[in-house]
Amino acid sequence: MMDNHIVEVINVTREVAWLPWAVQYFFLIGLSVGGLLLSLPGYAFAKEEWRKLGRTALLVALTCGLAAPVALLSDLHQPGRFWHFYVVLRPTSWMWWGSVFIPLYITGLLVYGWTCVREELQAHGRVDSRLAALYRLAALNGGRNDALIRAAGLFALSGALLVALYTGAEVAVVKARPLWHTPFLPVQFLMTALAGAAGLVLVLNRFAAGNDRAVEVRANRLLAGFLGGVMLVGALWLALGLFGLDTTHAEALGSVAGSEAWRVTAVWAVAATALPFAIAVAKPAGTGLLTGLIALHGAWMFRWTVFIGGQSVPKTGAGFYDYALPAGPEGLLGIVGTAGLWLFLLIALTAILPSPRRPAPGPARAPQTPAGTVAAAE
C-alpha cells in the first residue's frame, strides 16, 4: 500500500558566527606579522640597504599589532570572556593556544620595536626641547645595540610564526567546511599577509616616510614575489580539486560550482593578484601607491571571502545563506572603527617618532684655490 503521508524537510538558516570583527583581526594580525618579517633584514640582521624599508615595515608591524587584539576582543561578543581562556585549560584547542601566542607575540613585538627605535629616542633626547628628558628616559640613556636588536628580533619572530600557525590552523581544522579544511589555507594566509604588508609599506612610504624611491622599488619587487607565491598556492589548491586528486578539495569546489557569485569572486581574485603583480614587475618605480592599495584590498578581501563567504555555504542542505552587512558595531561601524583605531595609532607613533628626514641639498660652492697656487700665479 502506498504511503500518502507528506514528509516535510525543514532546513535551518544559520547566522554567521565569525563576524566582520574576525575579518579585521585576521587582516591586522597578518599585516603585523608580515611587517615584522619585512623589518628583520634592516634591523635584526643590520643590513643598511634595508634600513629605510625596515623602519616603515616596523611601523606597519606596531600599528597593526596593537590594533588587532581590540578587534579580536570585540569578536568575542562579550569582551570580558577573554579571561576564560586563562582559567580553563584547553590544550586541544587552537583558539586556546592563540590566547597564549598573542600576548607572547605582542610583548616580543613591543620589546623589539623599542630596541629598533632606541637610537632615534636617544637622538631626540639630545635636542633642546621640553620632551628631551622623556626621550632620554625612554632610551634608558642607551643607543643602538645590534646584538640586543637581533636577540629581540628573533624572539618576536618566534612569536610571529606561532601566531601565523595558529591563525591558519584554527580555521583549517574545521572539517565540516571543505573550503576551510585544507593545509593550503595557513600558507595562503601567510602569503597574502606578506603581500598586504608590502602593500602597506608602499602606501606609508608615499604618505608617511618621505616617498623614498629606493624603498618603493624594493617593496614592489618584494610584492611581486609574494603575489607570485599567492598565485602558486592558489593554483595548487585548484588543481587538486579540478583533477579530483583530493576528496576534500573536490568537495570544496563542488560546493560553490553552481554559484554565479563565487565565479565572479574567482575572477576578482585572479585580477586582484595578477594586476599588481604585472605592474610591480614591469614598472616598480612610480607605481607603489597603486600596487600597494590593490595588494591591501586583495589581502582584506581574501579574508572576507574565507570567513563571510565561507559561512554562506551551508554545512548541510542546498543553496547558500544570504548575508547583509549590518550598519552597526557588528558590521560597517566595526570595520570603520577598527580602521580609525589603526589610523590613531599611526598618527601617535609618527608624532612621537617622526621619520628621519633626508638632508636637504646645500648650495653649490665654488672650489677653493690653494693659497700657494695664488701666490705662484702672482
Residue, of 147 and 315, whose pLDDT is higher: 147
For 236-249, write each residue's pLDDT tens digit. 999 998 888 888 88
pLDDT at 82: 77
**pLDDT band, residue 56 (cuts 50/70/90):** very high
Better-predicted residue by pLDDT, 310 or 314: 310
Average pLDDT over residues 141-169: 95
Residue 127 has pLDDT above 90, yes or no: no
% residues pLDDT > 70 (the chain): 89
**Backbone torsions φ then ψ of 105, nearest 5 degrees:** -70, -45
When comparing pLDDT for 127 and 102, which is higher? 102
Q: Please say if the pLDDT value at position 371 is more than 50.
A: no
Under the banding of pLDDT at 50, 70 and 90, the label for residue 203 is very high
| Amino acid 257: pLDDT | 81
Average pLDDT, stretch 292-306? 96
Q: Which three cell numbers stand for residue 322?
A: 544570504
Residue 373 has pLDDT above 50, yes or no: no
Decide if pLDDT at 378 tops 50.
no
Give Cα 201 distance to the centre of its chain.
10
* Amino acid type, 173: V
Query: How much is the pTM?
Result: 0.89
Supply the pLDDT for residue 48: 93
End-to-end CA distance of the chain: 133
The three-class DSSP label of residue 97 is: helix
Determine the pLDDT at residue 318.
Answer: 66
Residue 274 has pLDDT above 50, yes or no: yes
Express each pLDDT in 78-122 by its tens digit.
Answer: 767 778 888 888 899 999 999 999 999 999 999 999 999 999 999
Cβ atoms of 335 and 307 within 8 Å: the answer is no
**Section 335-357 average pLDDT:** 89
Mean per-residue pLDDT for 278-283?
A: 97
Q: Residue 372: pLDDT above 70?
A: no
Contacts of 257 (CB under 8 A, 6+ apart): none
Residue 17's H or E segment, with its range, is none
CA pair distance 240, 340, nearest whole angstrom: 40
**Exposure on the CB side of residue 371, measured as CA atoms within 13 A:** 0
Buried b (16+ CB within 10 A) or exposed e, 36-60: bbbbbbbbbeeeeebbbbbbbbbbb
CA atoms 286, 288, 289, 291: torsion sign: positive
Q: How does the average pLDDT of the chain come out, rounded?
A: 88
Assess whether pLDDT exceeds 60 at residue 143.
yes
